[in-house]
Amino acid sequence: MTTPATILVADDDSDVLTAARLLLRSHYSRVLTIEDPGEIEALMAVERIDVFLVDMNFAIGMNTGEEGMRLLGRILELDPDAVVILMTAFGDLNTAVRAMREGAADFVLKPWQNDKLIATLGVAVALRQARSRVSALGIPQPLPEMIAGSAAMQKVLRVVERVAPTEANVLIRGENGTGKELIARALHEQSSRASKALVSVDLGAVPETLFESELFGYTQGAFTDADRDRPGRFQAAHEGTLFLDEIGNLPASMQTKLLRVLESREVVPLGSDQSVPIDVRLIAATNQPIEKLVADGRFREDLLYRINTIEIELPPLRDRLDDLPALAEHFIRLNARKYQVEPKRLSDAALSELRRHQWPGNVRELSHAIERAMILSDSDTLDGDDFSFSSAVEHMQTESLNLEENERRIITMALERAGDNISHAASMLGITRAALYRRIEKFGL
């Protein structure tokens, strides 16, 4: 008897799709296959897909896995509860593991072993069903509590306590997943503006063509689809706090416009000739070495002075391991409530395993690791074997498969072949110019 679930298989190899159909149709009620990843979005609009089984590389000659990463991000943007399994060749293993940190449920090696693929899909379908039950109950996804017993985090909280009641602009710095938005919320909630709105904007996700309309608003008739006046994020945050995340990603033209607004404290909506006064407290955040961006001429020095009256540096999880047990227990309780199960005990072996991990994804990665372990474990105790990175990341990071080394090597090779032309190198790598710049900064190239 087949399981009532819809599986979508996306791969540019018709032989792979045929093999998948023949194998899966006796296990699941519906198996859909497509060769063009561009069809996924349209298919999601008309189909409820339980599990996505997606190849990481579609374009001929591409083997970076970035296509799979982009597809993963788009699928999760359209359906946050989506369960995505990536198909990868052996050489892409580190990219696949990175994808799991960014939301993929699992990955399978090609050519797959039939029994392992069926087992992986079985877990994935169960995960989708669990997420659907939670969504149906309307249980919100709360933010982590401010767990900060370590000396490093206590220092941060002392700065927050002193700065929050002031009107000083704040720049929060730290790696991805360290909790920059959480600190921004703490600053807002402890300020005199707490009764007003905290408006967040991910500047890395705002296209340059939409920057003005998104942040400053527009009037009816300003462009083809402007059928009414719409206030921007600055107006929405009036008398409250505006949190600009990933500010290091701003192109030069956007930096100039943002600086002008911060200096004049007024915005002019697109299509209007009338300025609108704004009263906001600005908090910005970045994971980039912004002083180097200034030195290289890619971030305005005067804008940096404007946004960083006070700087708060968040430590990575590997530098605050004293907080790890409390964070793990918090995420265990959180997921126990979310999935309506009893909290599980964290064994000493599991805690040792967690302490050994480097946590490149920081607290966000820990949250995902605990959720996955809570779902998959049949025991009332989480043990070392319940954490997939112990058998995936550490086991696979041999000398030849080290993620950092290989990423640096591939980027260096692309830059050399492109003659240091950023656009050409980014095209070869299958990533955007902004994404390539971030990696160049990361590796000091």
Residues 303, 19: Cα–Cα separation, whole Å: 56
One domain for residues 213 and 282? yes
Q: Which of 74-88, 90-104, 219-233, 315-329 has the lowest mean pLDDT?
A: 90-104
One domain for residues 177 and 301? yes
Ramachandran angles phi, psi of 283, nearest 5°: -125, 130
CB 255 within 8 A of CB 293: no
One domain for residues 163 and 87? no
One domain for residues 233 and 155? yes
Residue 389's pLDDT band (boundaries 50, 70, 90)? Answer: low
Question: Is the confidence at residue 320, as pLDDT, over 90?
Answer: yes
Residue 165's pLDDT band (boundaries 50, 70, 90)? Answer: very high
In a domain, 219, yes or no: yes
According to the model, what pLDDT value does residue 350 have? 92
Count up the domains in the chain and report the number: 4
One domain for residues 410 and 352? no
Output the CA angle 26-30-34, nearest 5 degrees: 110
Mean of the per-residue pLDDT values for the chain? Answer: 82
Q: How far is CA 382 from the centre of its chain?
A: 26
One domain for residues 177 and 298? yes
The CATH number given to whatever domain includes residue 436 is 1.10.10
According to the model, what pLDDT value does residue 400 have? 46
Question: Is the confidence at residue 69, as pLDDT, over 90?
Answer: no
One domain for residues 386 and 430? no
Q: Which of 94-108, 129-143, 233-247, 365-379 has the lowest mean pLDDT?
A: 129-143
In a domain, 201, yes or no: yes
In a domain, 143, yes or no: no
Q: CB-based burial of residue 87 (10 Å sphere; 0-12 exposed, 13-18 middle, 19+ buried)?
A: buried
According to the model, what pLDDT value does residue 142 have? 38
Residue 277: asked if its preceding bond is cis (omega within 30°), the reply is no
| Average pLDDT of the segment spanning 399-419 | 69
The CATH number given to whatever domain includes residue 181 is 3.40.50.300
The CATH number given to whatever domain includes residue 340 is 1.10.8.60
User: Domain residues for 351?
Assistant: 317-396
- Which of 280, 313, 346 is the C-terminal boundary of a domain? 313
According to the model, what pLDDT value does residue 432 have? 67
The 10s digit of each residue's pLDDT in 93-148 is: 566 666 776 778 778 888 888 888 888 898 888 878 766 765 554 433 434 457 88
Question: Is the confidence at residue 157, as pLDDT, over 80?
Answer: yes
Q: What percent of the chain has pLDDT over 70?
A: 84
One domain for residues 76 and 165? no
Rg (CA), the chain: 23
